[in-house]
A and B are shown apart, each in its own frame.
Chain A
Amino acid sequence: MSRVSGGAVGNPRLNAGGMQRLMSGRGARIDIKIDGELVLAYAGETLHTVLMVSRGHVRHSEFGDGPRGGFCLMGACQDCWVNLQDGRRVRACATYVAPGIDVLLNPSP
Chain B
Amino acid sequence: MQRHERIAIVGAGPAGIAAAATLAAVGWRPTVIDEQVAPGGQIYKALAPGMNRGYADLYGPDAQKALRAHERFSSIRSAVDHLPGAIVWGREGQSLCVARANGTLETLAFDHVIAATGAIDRQIPVPGWTTPGVYSLGGAQIALKHQLAHIGRRTVFAGTGALLYLVAWQYLRSGGDVACVLDTSTKGDKLRALPAMFAKPRMALRGIHYAAMLRAHGVPVHDGARVRAIDRSSHGQESCFSVTFSKGKNLSSINGDAVALGYGLKPESQLAELFDVDFEFDSSQRLWLPRVADDGSTADPLFYMAGDGCNVLGADAAALMGELAAWTLATRLGAPAPRARVAELERSLQIERRFSKGLRAAFPLPRITQGDVPDDTIVCRCEVVTAGELRAASTQWDTTEINRLKALTRCGMGRCQGRMCGSAVAEIIAAHREIDIAAVGRLRAQQPLKPIPIVSADDCSMTSVS
Contacts known (A18-B239, A19-B151, A24-B53); A52 close to B175, Cβ less than 8 A: no
CA distance A63 to B151 in the complex (A): 25
Q: Which of A17, A28, A79, A81 contacts B133 (CB 8 A)?
A: A17
Please tell me if the beta carbons of B120 and A74 are within 8 angstroms of each other in the complex: yes
Interface contacts (Cβ under 8 Å), in number, total: 169
Chain A interface secondary structure, helix, strand, loop or mixed? loop
Number of interface residues of B (CB under 8 A): 60
Flag if A20 contacts B152 (CB, 8 Å): yes
Q: Using CB atoms, name the residue of chain A closest to B132.
A: A69
CB-defined interface of A11-51 with B at 8 Å, one 1/0 digit per residue? Answer: 00011111111101111100000000000001111100100
- Measured CB to CB, the closest approach of chain B to A24, in angstroms, equals 7
- B56 at interface by CB-CB < 8 Å: no
The answer to whether the Cβ of B47 comes within 8 Å of any Cβ in the partner chain is yes
What are the residues of chain B within 8 A of A74 when measuring CB–CB? 42, 120, 138-139, 142
Interface string of B442-454 (1 = CB under 8 A from A): 0000000011011
CB distance from A81 to the nearest CB of B (A): 7
Q: Do A73 and B239 have beta carbons less than 8 Å apart?
A: no
A72 CB contacts on chain B under 8 angstroms: 120-121, 135-136, 138-139, 420
Please report whether the interface of chain B is mostly helix, strand, loop or mixed according to DSSP. loop
Checking B57, B175, B420 against A71 with a beta-carbon cut-off of 8 angstroms, the contacting residue is B420
Over the window 65-103 of chain A, the binary record of Cβ atoms lying under 8 Å from chain B Cβ atoms (1 yes, 0 no) is: 111111111111111010000001100001010000000
Complex contact A56–B268 (CB within 8 A): no
Given contacts A17-B133, A20-B150, A25-B52, contact A89 B454 (CB under 8 A): yes
Indicate the member of B120, B132, B151, B420 with the most A CB atoms within 10 Å: B132
Q: Size class of A's contact patch?
A: 35 or more
A-chain residues with CB within 8 Å of residue B308 when the two chains form the complex = none
Contacts of A76 in B (CB 8 A): 120, 268, 416, 419-420
As a 0/1 sequence over residues 15 to 50 of chain B, the CB contacts with chain A under 8 angstroms (1 = contact) are: 000000000000000000001000000100001111
Q: A77 near B420 (CB under 8 angstroms)? A: yes
Chain B residues with CB below 8 A from A66, complex form: 130-131
Q: Kindly provide the distance from the CB of B190 to the nearest chain A CB, expressed in whole angstroms.
A: 27
| One of B51, B153, B419, B420 near A25 (C-beta < 8 A) | B51
B287 within 8 A of A: no
Contact between chains at A49 and B147 (CB < 8 Å): yes
Q: Are B139 and A71 in contact (CB under 8 A)?
A: yes
Residues of A within 8 A of B453 (CB): 88-89
Residue of B nearest to A55 (CB): B132
Is the Cβ of B139 less than 8 Å from the Cβ of A73?
yes
A77 to B451, CA, bound (A): 11
Whether the Cβ atoms of B150 and A81 lie closer than 8 Å is no
One of B191-199, B381-389, B399-407 contacting the partner: B381-389
Known: A14-B237, A22-B175, A74-B138. A69 touches B133 (CB 8 A): yes
Chain A neighbourhood of B135, CB < 8 A: 69-73
User: Which B residues are CB-close (under 8 A) to A15?
Assistant: 237-238
The answer for the CA separation of A29 and B36 in the assembled complex, in Å, is: 23
Closest chain A residue, CB of each to CB of B454: A89
Least distance between B454 CB and chain A CB atoms (Å): 7
Pairs across A and B, CB under 8 Å, 29 listed? A1-B174, A17-B133, A17-B239, A17-B240, A17-B258, A19-B133, A20-B150, A20-B152, A22-B174, A25-B148, A27-B50, A43-B51, A44-B48, A44-B49, A46-B147, A52-B132, A52-B133, A61-B384, A63-B384, A66-B130, A69-B135, A71-B381, A72-B120, A74-B138, A74-B139, A76-B120, A79-B130, A79-B382, A88-B103
7 further A-B contacts with Cβ under 8 Å, apart from A44-B48, A94-B85, are A16-B238, A56-B133, A56-B239, A63-B383, A72-B420, A73-B139, A77-B420
Q: Which 4 A-B pairs have the closest CB atoms?
A: A69-B132, A43-B50, A17-B257, A44-B50
